Structure 1
């Protein structure tokens, strides 16, 4: 690789106090500008990996690097890291604590020592990006679950990170809420944010991600999402099933409706287009 990874773990091992080793000798890199899905069974180490990337945990061995430079775990080093990487946990109630939406979103920028004008600008920008500007003065305890999810993400976005890590961001959302969140993530990516999403949903990963990282007992296996998520051996090791889009593509090719070099459908709409025209959805 000619450019160092934006964020990377090199030879990292970690175990919780009096517990078994969760990650051992792990190498994991987040390339800039890619949508990365992180998948694995419960207990595989996804949450630990995300917390190591964001500085919430410190590796016992190995190191975390940002653009090839090792992270120091003093105040200056962690501040630098948290302006580069932000983690949004699965349950927004674990992250929200201020009285109103705007106050909660302003917490991170205020801790950076920014001017009041800059904080206000960042809060407004984040609320607009998450489509919750109208909720700025709403008490957080009166928000719906989807609104709380968006507020938690807005708090991370207000830090203007280069990498946004999301733990099961679509969990608990209805279909409309999921679609709106995915559209928001696409808009953030268009602005230059690299997004990492941990999920159990292989269909979502196939549809959304450029790359997929599967956590298996023998280590992490990363590759282009359509390729990695078609590896039945890796899926079995990771405790995951085959995405329906991969299975549909195999059936379409067997029926002569999809060329070998044509990407398979990732959504129901793409599947309908293939079966209607006999041509691939993305040339």
Structure 2
């Protein structure tokens, strides 16, 4: 028998006051150990879905379950949920409020009523995981944007969640900042945290995720990232373009440079490595201009 999903919405519906249904009869699962990218056009319901998963909103129909057990929306039930699932919003300034980084990161563990020694240990571990230990005493208003992103994620990590949900975590970061954050997320995944990332970046989703969930007008479609992000019909419905890596793989197969069953490149670096391994320097080389 299959293990129940770590977190699952079943038949979930939600509408804001005086508005149409944002989500209706939605079934959605987060499987432990699977990096999941959540994609869809603006207004498709991504933010609502993330808030339903983390307990910030309550389904008006259907329900939320953790490991098959329905979530109760009383104090004890929500505390249990928030020690399982943490959401980090897109703008860190919506999440940071304390005078210093360490004080901000300690807020969640203190609210759990943990002993001081445990709080200090969690704060130190979260700061180390996000590579911002040196910023512990820095006022949050003096941080760079990338540092504020990391501090906001550290506050969620200090809660020791099993599922970490990130809304557009790489938005606003320069390429180096994006790479450093992705390396940090890889470290969290290796330590056992299941990561869900909402993004509009299909290339990032192809490169980073195990599974992709596409929110379309007729519901959510979830499956292995390479196959889901090759579905031009679903991508069109979700207001997304074809990922670069998928287009490159199709071209390589058409030229006989990639076997039909072989996995295509997810990054330019993988394409260059394939060219080197195949002894075909033309693979991955851009055509000359007119």
Shared fold (TM-score greater than 0.5)? yes
- 1:26 and 1:2 mapped to 2: Cα distance? 21
Residue 94 of structure 1 pairs with residue 127 of structure 2? no
Instruction: Say if 1:249 and 1:258, in contact at 8 Å, map to a contact too.
Output: yes
- 1:133 and 1:170 mapped to 2: Cα distance? 21
- 1:28 and 1:58 mapped to 2: Cα distance? 15
Instruction: Say if 1:207 and 1:266, in contact at 8 Å, map to a contact too.
Output: yes
46-55 vs 262-271, greater mean Cα deviation:
262-271
TM-score, scaled to structure 2: 0.95
Alignment of 1:214-225 (within 5 A): 214-225=214-225
Residue 78 of structure 1 pairs with residue 78 of structure 2? yes
Question: What is the match of residue 44 of structure 2?
Answer: 44
Instruction: Say if 1:258 and 1:278, in contact at 8 Å, map to a contact too.
Output: no
SS of the counterpart of 1:251?
helix
Instruction: Say if 1:189 and 1:195, in contact at 8 Å, map to a contact too.
Output: yes
Question: What is the match of residue 140 of structure 2?
Answer: 140
Question: What is the match of residue 109 of structure 1?
Answer: 109
Question: What is the match of residue 16 of structure 2?
Answer: 16
In the alignment, structure 2 segments of 5+ residues that lack a partner are: 280-290
- 2:229 and 2:34 mapped to 1: Cα distance? 16
Instruction: Say if 1:71 and 1:78, in contact at 8 Å, map to a contact too.
Output: yes
270-279 vs 16-25, greater mean Cα deviation:
270-279
Instruction: Say if 1:257 and 1:274, in contact at 8 Å, map to a contact too.
Output: no
Residue 177 of structure 1 pairs with residue 177 of structure 2? yes
**Residue 275 of structure 1: CA displacement?**
2.1
- 1:3 and 1:188 mapped to 2: Cα distance? 23
Alignment of 1:1-283 (within 5 A): 2-278=2-278
Question: What is the match of residue 288 of structure 2?
Answer: none
259-268 vs 99-108, greater mean Cα deviation:
259-268
Instruction: Say if 1:13 and 1:22, in contact at 8 Å, map to a contact too.
Output: yes
SS of the counterpart of 2:181?
helix
- 2:26 and 2:65 mapped to 1: Cα distance? 13
- 1:235 and 1:242 mapped to 2: Cα distance? 7
SS of the counterpart of 1:160?
coil
**Residue 277 of structure 1: CA displacement?**
2.4
- 1:273 and 1:188 mapped to 2: Cα distance? 27
**Residue 261 of structure 1: CA displacement?**
1.4
Instruction: Say if 1:98 and 1:104, in contact at 8 Å, map to a contact too.
Output: yes
119-128 vs 267-276, greater mean Cα deviation:
267-276
- 1:116 and 1:154 mapped to 2: Cα distance? 18
**Residue 255 of structure 1: CA displacement?**
1.0
SS of the counterpart of 1:226?
helix
State the number of aligned residues.
Answer: 279
* Divergent runs of 4+, >4 A: none
Q: Deviations over 1:54-87 (max 9, x none)?
A: 0000000000000000000000000000000000
In the alignment, structure 1 segments of 5+ residues that lack a partner are: none
- 2:276 and 2:103 mapped to 1: Cα distance? 51
SS of the counterpart of 1:23?
strand
